[in-house]
Structure formats: structure tokens, C-alpha cells
């Protein structure tokens, strides 16, 4: 019963903050509303005993991705008036898409019902010594080791591609010369000069 109440509370907050993401005029508020979305989704995941995913969602998305996002939003000089121009012109397209997606989701749920899968049933409670993280680790590094390795290669490609496409050696670029820094000696930098003390006038 308590879990049901909690679920509905979190779900309501989630829906409200999701609407907030697309309705607030200030992109910073939008990003903050998205943070709220992630936090409440994490809470909902906790309710179905997926602790690891909940923690990762907060750590990765809220902690890293959204902070980066906020930085970008704050640093870029976004002209809101220009962005908002013509925004409503395509609203009808958005409505049609939303409607289509809703119908599709309903269709899938209906099709699942046809196959005898009960989609309304909640998760079965698990024993107290059940470790979500351990089970996930066993799956990831056991059964799904091959896709995991492939995903790792995909990230490597992304790094190589990003660096190859953006790093340029421009003339006049100021950068550290590590060799010179290491090779430097105190004697080359500081010259001690013997001087007679000045007399006070």
C-alpha cells in the first residue's frame, strides 16, 4: 500500500517536471526540471528494487551529464526570442507525433495482452539477501560479455573520431612543452646577484 502511494507521488512529480522541461521559457530551468525527472525516475526504480540502476542514473545523468548540460546552457549565449520564433508553427506536427506514439504504446500493450503476458502486474518482491548489483554484474560480464566489449569498442571509436575531427595544431597555439619543463634547472631560471646593501638616504 505504502509503495503504491509512493509510486503515485513520484509518478506525479515525474510527469509534472517532464512537462516543466518543455514548457519553461528559461533553458536553465528546463535543465533543472530534467534533473528533477531523473531523480524521481531513480526513486521509482528504487521501488522496483533496481538499486544499482537508480544509483547509476543519479550519478551518471544528474551528476555528470546534466552538470555538463547546465554548463553549456549557461555558457552559450542563447537568444531566446529567436529560438521561440516559429515554435508553434510545427506544434500540430508535435501533437500528431505524440498521438501516434500513444497509440503505438497502447498497441504494444494490447499485443502483449494477446500473447498472455500480464503487463499490469508489478515486480515480485525479492528476498532480502538479493543483490541487484551482483546479478547485473554477473549478466554483464558473463552472458553479455561480448556486447559489452563491443560497446567498449564503440566508445573507443567515438573518442578517436571526436579527437580526429576536432583537434587542430594551429600556428601560434600556446601550450605546455613538457620536455622543456622537465629539462629546466634552477640555475637557468634564477640568477643570484651579489649586491651591496643600499644605504638609507
Partner 1 sequence: MSEPAFLWSSLAPAIPEISLVVAICAVLLIDVFMGDRRTGLTSTLTLVALAVCAALTVEYGHVMERVVLLNGMYVADELAYVLKLVGFSVVAVVLLYSRRYLVDHGILRGEYYVLALTALLGIFVLVSANSLLTVYLGVELLALSVYAMVAFDRDSGVAAESAMKYFVLGAIASGALLYGMSLLYGLAGTLDLGELTARLASPSSLGVVMGVVFVVVAVAFKLGAVPFHMWLPDVYEGAPTSVTLFIGTVPKIAYFALALRLLAEGLAGMAPEWTQMLAPLAVLTLVVGNVVALVQTNLKRMLAYSTISNVGFIVLGFVAGTPDGYAAALYYTLVYVLVALGSFGVILLASRKGFEADRLEDYKGLYRRDPLLAFAMMLLMFSTAGVPPLVGFWAKLRIFQALWETHHLYLVIIAAAMSVVGAFYYLRVIKLMYFDEPVAAIPPAVGGAGVRLVLGLNAAAVLVLGILPGPLLNLCARVLH
Residues that bind partner 1 in the complex, under the rule CB under 8 A: 104, 107-108, 111-112, 114-115, 138, 141-147, 150-151, 153-154, 156-158, 160-161, 163-165, 168-169
Which of 89, 168 has the CB closer to partner 1? Answer: 168
In the complex, the smallest distance separating the C-beta of residue 199 from partner 1, rounded to whole angstroms, is 58
Which of 59, 134 has the CB closer to partner 1? Answer: 134
In the complex, the smallest distance separating the C-beta of residue 131 from partner 1, rounded to whole angstroms, is 14
In the complex, the smallest distance separating the C-beta of residue 159 from partner 1, rounded to whole angstroms, is 10
Integer Cα distance of 4 and 120 in angstroms: 13
1 HSE (CA, 13 A, CB side):
0
> What is the greatest pairwise CA distance in the chain?
104
Handedness of CA 85, 90, 95, 98 (dihedral sign): negative
Burial pattern 3-22, b for ≥16 Cβ within 10 A else e, equals eeeeeeebeebbeebbebbe
Distance of CA 56 to the CA centre of its chain: 10
Which of 80, 151 has the CB closer to partner 1? Answer: 151
The angle formed by the CA atoms of residues 108, 135 and 41, to the nearest 5 degrees, is 50
- Is residue 62 a contact partner of residue 34, using CB atoms and an 8 Å limit? no
In the complex, the smallest distance separating the C-beta of residue 196 from partner 1, rounded to whole angstroms, is 52
Which of 65, 156 has the CB closer to partner 1? Answer: 156
Which of 84, 138 has the CB closer to partner 1? Answer: 138
- Is residue 33 a contact partner of residue 62, using CB atoms and an 8 Å limit? no
Which of 169, 200 has the CB closer to partner 1? Answer: 169
In the complex, the smallest distance separating the C-beta of residue 105 from partner 1, rounded to whole angstroms, is 11
In the complex, the smallest distance separating the C-beta of residue 162 from partner 1, rounded to whole angstroms, is 8
Amino acid at each position: 500500500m505504502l509503495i503504491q502511494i509512493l509510486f503515485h507521488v513520484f509518478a506525479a512529480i515525474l510527469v509534472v517536471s517532464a512537462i516543466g522541461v518543455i514548457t519553461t521559457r528559461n533553458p536553465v530551468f528546463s535543465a533543472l526540471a530534467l534533473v528533477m525527472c531523473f531523480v524521481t525516475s531513480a526513486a521509482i526504480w528504487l521501488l522496483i528494487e533496481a538499486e544499482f540502476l537508480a544509483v547509476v542514473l543519479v550519478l551518471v545523468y544528474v551528476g555528470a551529464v546534466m552538470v555538463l548540460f547546465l554548463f553549456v546552457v549557461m555558457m552559450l549565449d542563447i537568444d531566446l526570442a529567436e529560438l521561440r520564433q516559429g515554435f508553434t508553427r510545427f506544434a500540430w506536427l508535435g501533437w500528431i507525433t505524440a498521438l501516434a506514439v500513444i497509440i503505438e504504446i497502447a498497441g504494444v500493450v494490447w499485443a502483449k495482452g494477446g500473447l498472455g503476458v500480464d503487463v499490469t502486474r508489478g515486480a515480485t518482491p525479492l528476498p532480502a539477501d538479493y543483490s541487484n548489483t551482483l546479478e547485473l554484474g554477473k549478466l554483464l560480464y558473463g552472458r553479455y560479455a561480448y556486447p559489452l566489449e563491443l560497446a567498449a569498442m564503440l566508445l573507443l571509436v567515438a573518442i578517436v573520431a571526436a579527437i580526429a575531427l576536432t583537434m587542430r595544431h594551429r600556428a601560434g597555439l600556446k601550450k605546455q612543452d613538457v620536455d622543456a619543463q622537465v629539462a629546466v634547472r634552477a640555475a637557468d631560471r634564477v640568477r643570484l646577484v651579489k649586491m651591496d646593501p643600499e644605504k638609507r638616504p
